[in-house]
Amino acid sequence: MNIVVYIKAVVDPDKAKNDLDLAKGTKEDKLALIINPYDKQAIEAALQLKEKYTGKVTAVSLGSDLATDKILRDALSLGVDEGIQISNDDFESLSSYSPALGTVLAKAPVDDVDYYITGREAGDDNQSITGASIAAALDVDFVDNVDEVEYNDDETLTLTSRWDKSELKGTYKQKPLVLSIKDTANTPRLPSFKAKMQAKKATLKHFKVSDLPDIDVARIKAIADRATTINLAKPEVASKETVLFNLNDDENAVSELVADLKKHSIL
């Protein structure tokens, strides 16, 4: 069984600088990059598929060499068998907002794929379109919002997607199939120190977008250029005020607290 899992590098909010830039090529930038949290559940789902039915898991990441190198090695340390970097240096407009994204990712050179797996969304842009765009490019079935995966003995998958007051559950035998995994689907494993060291020495496969098989570069560029990012702006930081209410000594404190909560539409 061949499984492809797509992963993205995002900035670790605990280490991010006060700007909107991702990795610019420095060691410090690389340390601030992590696997998109939703993609960790996608990796875990792929590894569980591999362990249940035997097979191979390939992680694919599109972006700068610095970003993809970091997170692909992190994926290898978790048990992924192979990593493929796709450099978008010659297609700067190719991003999560680009309608060409799925077409490019679907061209990753992996043969006879049974399952394509993505995380539900990216933590930095929340677009939730990668799985659907890959399925559209491949012209295969797509199951979104997967909360639970049951690995059946006949190599079918029973998938459950839940919403606020409803759920959809079905058993799927068709392959290939694209899955979008939610962060409730499983608990990602942690890498061992030995696995981390081995991942650092591993060889990654590297491709430019123009190197991908059967890729129409002119068409991809034309599609990618339809959606361009003009500007990214940080949201305004709301000022915060701390108000202390002494409920023991001030008989008016309770009424003042209630009035203040109503003023801020909390009550």
pLDDT band at 27 (very low <50, low <70, confident <90, very high): low
191 and 77 in contact (C-beta within 8 Å)? Answer: yes
Q: What is the mean pLDDT of residues 238-244?
A: 69
Q: Is the pLDDT of residue 16 over 60?
A: yes
pLDDT digits (tens, 9 = 90+) for 126-139: 888 899 999 999 99
Q: Is the pLDDT of residue 13 over 80?
A: no
Instruction: Please report the pLDDT score of residue 23 as a whole number.
Output: 44
- Extract the runs of DSSP E, i.e. beta strands, from 140-194: 141-146, 148-151, 157-162, 167-172, 177-181
Check residue 80 and give left, alpha or beta (phi > 0: left; psi -120 to 50: alpha): beta
**220 closest CA partner among 100, 63, 88:** 100
End-to-end CA distance of the chain: 55
pLDDT band at 247 (very low <50, low <70, confident <90, very high): low
- Write the DSSP symbol of residue 160: E
Q: What is the mean pLDDT of residues 81-97?
A: 81
Q: How far is CA 121 from the centre of its chain?
A: 5
Q: Is the pLDDT of residue 77 over 90?
A: yes
Q: In what order do the strands lie in the sheet with 157-162?
A: 148-151, 157-162, 167-172
Instruction: Please report the pLDDT score of residue 71 as a whole number.
Output: 95
What percentage of residues in the chain have a pLDDT greater than 70?
86
Instruction: Please report the pLDDT score of residue 266 as a whole number.
Output: 79
Instruction: Please name the fold of domain 2-224.
Output: Rossmann fold (3.40.50)
Domain range list for the chain:
2-224
